[in-house]
Structure 1
Amino acid sequence: MAIAIGGAAAALLTAGATVLSTGLDVRERLSRLRRPPAPPPAVKPAPDGAAEPGDRYDAFVSYAEVDAEAAQTLATRLRAEGLRVFLAEWIGPGLVESLEKEAALRVTANGILLFSSATMNNAAIRDEYAVLLQRVHTGGRRFIPVLVDDVELPPFARIRRPADLRNPGSAPYDASLAALVRAVRPPGEAV
């Protein structure tokens, strides 16, 4: 009988410790939700263009693989204007692409999505599109659709003024690129 009472007492202590531990865990999670998130550290992009963990970006460029050249050209032009740009192909060696994209989406001020005939056929790009739109509504961020092909934009992209980058080297392309640079440049930053 003493063994049964001792076992019951041990079980009660274990249950009590579990309840206490769970309560402390819930309290900590609620405390984190109430705290405003710490601002991400401002880190300059790596000299070779590689995206490094912890970087903060002015623009996240989302694109389908077939539009990689247009994305590279755009990202390079934005960087030449002094903007910090996240581009998936600049992710450094040894890093996990999906995790780096997710981390970059959290700390990027603006989302740019290149639209071509391949864009919405790619499940990963559709996910990025959804996240970029959500960020507009929850964080005051800007989402900018960029036309690189003659396509009809999906409804939530269509209600925004797109940047038209369908004809590289033309005057309309340069004007649209200049407007895009102005849109993603942080407020108060010198030109």
Structure 2
Amino acid sequence: MGLEGWGLVVGVVSAVAAVVPICIELYGRFTRGRTSAPAPPVVNPGGEYDVFVSYAEADRGTAETLADRLHAEGLRVFLAEWIGPGLVESLEKEAALNASTNGILVFSATTMNDTAIRDEYAALIGRAHTGGRLFVPVLVEDVELPPFARIRRPVDLREPGSTRFDQGLAALVRSLQPRSDAT
């Protein structure tokens, strides 16, 4: 093989060496999307729920974690964050509130500063009084509860990862699980 032949071999090897890392990167990008964590449940328009989760925007992450745990326990959970594209958030919230057996409100320092959450709180309390539905205050920070929440036994989830947190979550799940009429 002459000098020109070796030049051609070196050129081909260089081209392959330049293209292989690009192909590996592209393959990684395409497969990463397929192996990511499962998407959260999507709100079922007109569906029934075991629990309506109310939370202030500042507590979105905490509410999502809580809702994921409740959903993993087999509960049908409504979380506004799970409302799908094309749906009207306020209408879905109202329909879910009417179709939920129970309601919980995540309480932190910002909760009662949000007018929409104050409305949800009033609706949840009203349903507890008139419809016999359960309303559970969930503490995620050390805050004083408003009067109508204070008269209910709250669930303490202020210390994620602690025994108290795990016990509180287990108690919450038990209280929200559908009850059998066969007693």
Q: How does 1:129-140 map to 2 (within 5 A)?
A: 129-140=121-132
The gaps in structure 1 that reach 5 residues or longer are: 1-46
Pair 1:151-2:114 in alignment: no
Q: How does 1:47-62 map to 2 (within 5 A)?
A: 48-62=40-54
For 2:144, the aligned partner's letter is E
The gaps in structure 2 that reach 5 residues or longer are: 1-38
Determine which of 147, 163, 184 is the counterpart of 2:176.
184
TM-score for both structures, normalised by structure 2: 0.76
Quote the offset at 1:137 in angstroms.
Answer: 1.2
Report what 1:171 is aligned to. Answer: 163
Quote the offset at 1:64 in angstroms.
Answer: 0.3
Determine which of 72, 78, 87 is the counterpart of 1:95.
87
Query: Percent identity between the aligned chains?
Result: 69
Q: What's the RMSD between the two structures over aligned residues?
A: 1.2
CA deviation string 1:24-49 (max 9, x = no partner):
xxxxxxxxxxxxxxxxxxxxxxx841
- What is the DSSP-based 3-state SS (H/G/I as helix, E as strand, rest coil) of the residue aligned with 1:109? strand
Matched residues, number: 143
Report what 1:142 is aligned to. Answer: 134
Report what 1:126 is aligned to. Answer: 118
Report what 1:65 is aligned to. Answer: 57
TM-score for both structures, normalised by structure 1: 0.73
For 1:128, the aligned partner's letter is E
Answer yes or no: is the 8 Å Cα contact 2:54–2:103 preserved in 1.
Answer: yes
- 2-structure distance, mates of 1:87, 1:48: 10
Instruction: Name which one, 1 or 2, has greater alpha-carbon Rg.
Output: 2
Answer yes or no: is the 8 Å Cα contact 2:40–2:68 preserved in 1.
Answer: no
Which runs of at least 4 in structure 1 moved beyond 4 Å after TM superposition? none
For 2:146, the aligned partner's letter is P
